[in-house]
Structure 1
């Protein structure tokens, strides 16, 4: 990872409207439609650190995503994550997907 002080990533909530064209008559068996929703949104901050630490809402999930990302990419570095705003879990707004992608983006930018 580079020597940035901190990285902020904001991610909108999203709605997924499911699989379209189940018959495959249009040539696509698997497709979907989604839309970003401006509120609620996720705001994540990542700073270089020793090991993986996290604070804020969903901090345990954010830390687990970070550990997996760092291990997968062979980084020995760590990070401190701060979840400033989160998307409510189990509300159908993609909270887990958005958190995982925000963590990955932030760590890639550090």
Structure 2
């Protein structure tokens, strides 16, 4: 479960802080959001050394989705028809990638035989 929740958490941190940094009103707010963003980066680097490399691109996909949805919902930015279709395709790709990383055949392939 950590394999899927970890990149989603990192992507959510990055996506939220990207929008918040863009619309921060003071330097202190910007620095606070930047530090939160860097915490997500530290988590990502930890994930590089401890998790399957297959699921880490999910963090970048989730970042894009969260940034677009937050900007649309809270910052009055508009998403065009092609942008909306792109987000749907991105969701489908994330679903397929996460399903492939959890499949039993994939887990058996990654186990090493000591003989």
TM-score, normalized by length of structure 2? 0.28
Q: Pick the structure with more strand per residue.
A: 1
Q: Pick the structure with more helix per residue.
A: 2
